[in-house]
Structure 1
């Protein structure tokens, strides 16, 4: 608090030309006046007149008409009004005269007035400190130098669940012996003379971080210990959850490594991309059950390999795995192939009849590839197989019980086919118990290298070769979009291996379609700068070739690129030239 806050009224001042009588009248006018500053024309202090100095002057023969200039000068040190009250302890005076920065007198105060103000100021500061003490979110516990409890705030009660009335005035050793607290940071700080930090769990169930700091006097003796208690319950819970998540992540990582090892033991099945590993993890889970599975995905993504993987890891792994492509067998033959026929069932039938593939697969797994190609009448019969687990041969009268697990696959949109009445809704729901959607190769790029190396390894083994890919070749393979998926990758690798004239398969050994579509991607992996028209030509060549390969005709490819068919043909011709 500054002095000027106490100087509420302008002081009464006199000049050196004023008389003693005038000074006496000023004192008579108010008992509150302690002294009269004598100032010059600029308001600067010259002298300070008090009642005693007037009485002394008159007793020595001074006249009432004498001026104040005749009074002896007092040894005064004016004090700046901006000084803090606490700093006045350096001055010992009966009266204090305060001035502003320009030296002009602004007030007179005595020691008693200042002491009262100082006490009030300290009380205010204590109330502010007390408010901070009580409002602190952290718990605060204060003991004296012998470990006796002096102060406790509300937050300490909240965190620990202890009440201050059970603790105040009591020694920490007693509180520990009575079980109020398990360990005292205050006692440790008193013993060591240093700051002590420890963690503790309280009866409230909350966890706290305790820091006890000893406070020493000038002689180095500990006068009190201030303990701060921080609630770390939520932080501790978060730490435990983090540790649980780390453990869980490590567990999942171990499971993935085991799964990858199992996948690597499956011929033709290679996976490194997280998307494909997730698919294989799902396949591993459902393999142990007999639920019907529908595998979805574009042509060539590896639907059959997933079906074989499920069979291999199922309880039926030692029985038959029968596959039929529903789109490869003529409609007039597929029923007899699936269900078999009795002797004499139709013209040309075997005299002994024939078992159908369903019956052959009894106890094993039956894989219906391209199930969307089945005719509606066969869909009805397949539905019965799923519902009743029995078949009736062509020309037969008695049903035959079978025990098979059916896995189906298609690259068609069966949901759309159901809407257009080309596929039975009831059969769709029977097949779609557990759907597994395999992403195309362009969406699982990390599988390209392991698959390409796998195909090349098989070719090397078959022909006793030792061929490898160059880095540039792998970059082109990675950049290509693979509309034909894994099947196309296998064919491309075989062709490149056959065409290569050395043990290194270079980009020149790949087909022009692959190199054209991968050129722009590999181009922009390099740091070298090239002419802009060359870069544009490479990009155009890639897009034109990719569009034509994907759509198969000029009109559809031009529409996809947003240009006219004439422009498409002209640009392709210019590239060839």
Structure 2
């Protein structure tokens, strides 16, 4: 081999990203990347002249890929677990002379520790998601209503209370923030009651204008007022006869109507507007509010006697941020529900699950359900990534913000060279892809580069990931 070829070969080995090692037919190291041995927890050096068999006996190579190729005389690939806890992918190739004798072995080693960890984490998340899916199906079978999915101890206690009181005619006051699903629990109470075959009449007290409230709630007789229907109209209370009357947002009930409603609750009798005869109505009363009724009583906005009538069995529905344990199964429940509704097969990426679990959900279950339905409808890809989430949830900036010169300058400082600036931006993009993608092939597609380039950049920027 000429001097020029010798220099070329040495430079190729020194500059390669694949940690090349060359041994002879006896396992003696002839050439090696100087930094190759650091991934095995050994001092940086060439180790030229050492035997791979000796390094095996010392426990430094477990096992040696070169020794395996020398023994089997064919291409081999193995995963090595170093004494420092790293995972190394080693590939060995035999070289034969013209007489068919094995004279050299060339091996390549790549540190796969981070990729291996990513794979393990991904598999753990997949098992966790599968567990959530199974749990959703189990909960659907066990719960009072298929729209109620809960695993937290707080919600289990709520469901236990609801099941206990459902068979009675006790007046229930459902308390909780907007969007926690109070109307869903009211329907569950009705379905579990002995009145489940009778009407369930839901009245949102905040949506009926005060001027129309009395006629809507109590109904009216023919000719009771200008514009009244000639045949009259039964009120919502009358429509609930035999069943359940659910007054949602009862804190919005006009003061002028509270005394009349109290009389109906006490006597179970009512009279239509313009009527002259009272009628007995048999109904079970459920109410709900997100307002502090006791405070409203103190402020004179809600009657104390009515409050006592409604507050027989108060049930507090905790907000979603108070029961984080329920979020994973709720996400799985609503992604399945939306997929079935729109004939889709969308799924949430594991990192999307994490972002949604960490979110505070001020709008509670209503916000969660609406978001999932919107994502299933709008996202064209089969997998929903954090980039598809609203910025308020993902905590990520938009692409325009990320790529604007101003944001980059603020992020890395104004006095950086062009090379440093480009490298800083590359680190940002690699880190973003590393977080959102499951495999290096997916990262390559995401970044528009080759998979070997992704491997190189992951190794190069490992300290930033």
Band of TM-score, shorter chain: 0.5 to 0.7
Partners of 1:431 and 1:499 in 2: CA distance: 43
Question: Residue 365 of structure 2 corresponds to which residue in structure 1?
Answer: 486
Match for 1:291 among 170, 176, 179? 170
Which one of 262, 266, 269 corresponds to residue 383 of structure 1?
A: 262
Shift of 1:414: 0.2
Distance 1:491 1:403 in 2: 36
> 1:269-293 deviations in whole A, cap 9, x for unaligned?
1111111111011011010110000
Give the corresponding residue for 2:193: 314
Q: Assess if the C-alpha contact under 8 Å between 2:344 and 2:376 holds in 1.
A: no
**TM-score, structure 2 length as denominator?**
0.55
Q: Residue 459 of structure 1 aligns with which residue? A: 338
1:261 deviates by 5.6
State the alpha-carbon separation in 1 of the partners of residues 396 and 319 from structure 2. 17
Could you tell me whether the CA contact under 8 Å between 1:365 and 1:405 is conserved in 2?
A: yes
Q: Which residue of 2 aligns with 1:333?
A: 212
Q: Paired residues, what number?
A: 269
Alignment of 1:179-328 (within 5 A): 260=139, 263-264=142-143, 266-328=145-207
Say if 1:343 and 1:263 are closer, same or farther in 2 by CA, change over 3 A: farther
Match of 1:367 in 2: 246
**Deviation for aligned residue 1:501:** 2.4
Q: Measure how far apart 1:517 and its partner are.
A: 8.6
Distance 2:336 2:181 in 1: 18
Give how far 1:339 is off: 0.5
Q: Counterpart of 1:36?
A: none
Cα distance in 2 between the residues matched to 1:508 and 1:335: 50
- Cα shift readout 1:196-219 (whole Å, capped 9, x = no counterpart): xxxxxxxxxxxxxxxxxxxxxxxx
1:417 has 2:293 as partner? no
Shift >3 Å, 4+ stretches: 259-265, 531-534
CA distance in 1 between partners of 2:396 and 2:187 (Å): 33
* 2:287 aligned partner: 408
Spell out the pairing of 1:170-181 with structure 2 (5 A cutoff). none
Please report how far the alpha carbon of residue 267 of structure 1 lies from its aligned counterpart in structure 2 after TM superposition. Answer: 3.0
Q: By how many angstroms is 1:509 displaced? A: 1.2
Q: Give me the whole-angstrom Cα distance separating, in 1, the residues matched to 2:219 and 2:335.
A: 41
CA contact (8 A) 1:263 1:271 kept: no
Cα distance in 1 between the residues matched to 2:364 and 2:213? 28
Structure 1: distance between partners of 2:142 and 2:204: 25
* Aligned-residue offset at 1:262: 5.3
Task: Quote the residue 1:448 is aligned against.
Answer: 327
Note the 1:56-75 alignment, pairs <5 A: none
CA distance in 1: counterparts of 2:412 and 2:251, whole angstroms: 48
Root mean square deviation, CA, Å: 2.7
- What residue in structure 2 maps to residue 348 of structure 1? 227
Give the direction of change, closer, same or farther, for the CA distance of 1:517–1:350 in structure 2 (3 Å limit): farther
Instruction: Please name the residue that 2:272 is paired with.
Output: 393
**How many angstroms apart in 2 are the aligned matches of 1:306 and 1:357?**
20
Larger radius of gyration: 1
Give 1:350 shift.
Answer: 0.5
Pick closer, same or farther for the CA change 1:286–1:517 going to 2, 3 Å: farther
For the structure 1 residues 422 and 465, does the alpha-carbon distance in structure 2 shift closer, same or farther, using more than 3 Å as the test?
Answer: same
Distance 1:389 1:478 in 2: 46
Question: CA, structure 1 residues 495+388, in 2 after alignment: closer, same or farther (shift >3 Å)?
Answer: same
CA separation of 1:517 and 1:382: change in aligned 2, threshold 3 A:
farther
Alignment match, 1:357: 236
Would you say the 8 A contact 1:499–1:509 is kept in 2? no
Q: Is the 8 A contact 1:500 1:506 kept in 2?
A: no
Q: Deviations over 1:157-191 (max 9, x none)?
A: xxxxxxxxxxxxxxxxxxxxxxxxxxxxxxxxxxx
Q: How big is each residue's C-alpha offset from its partner over 1:53-73, in whole Å with a ceiling of 9 and x where there is no partner?
A: xxxxxxxxxxxxxxxxxxxxx
**Contact 1:324 / 1:367 at 8 angstroms: preserved in 2?**
yes
Alpha-carbon displacement from aligned partner over 1:93-122 (angstroms, at most 9, x marks no partner)? xxxxxxxxxxxxxxxxxxxxxxxxxxxxxx
* 1:495 maps to 2:371: no
How far is 1:498 from its partner?
Answer: 2.3
Q: State the 1:464 CA deviation.
A: 1.1
Matches of 2:177 and 2:244, distance apart in 1 = 22
Answer whether contact 1:480 1:517 (CA < 8 A) is retained. no
Is residue 391 of structure 2 the alignment partner of residue 512 of structure 1? yes
Q: TM-score, normalised by structure 1?
A: 0.45
Distance in 2 of aligned mates of 1:440 and 1:381: 33
In 1: Cα distance, 2:227 partner to 2:243 partner? 30
Cα pair 2:218 2:270 within 8 Å, conserved: yes
Give SS of 2:174's match: strand
- Conserved 8 A contact 2:150-2:326: yes
Compared with structure 1, are the counterparts of its residues 329 and 295 closer, same or farther at alpha carbon in structure 2 (3 Å cutoff)? same
Q: Looking at both structures, which has the greater relative contact order when contacts are Cα pairs under 8 Å and sequence separation is at least 6? A: 2
Q: Is the contact between residue 173 and residue 288 of structure 2 (CA under 8 Å) also seen in structure 1?
A: yes
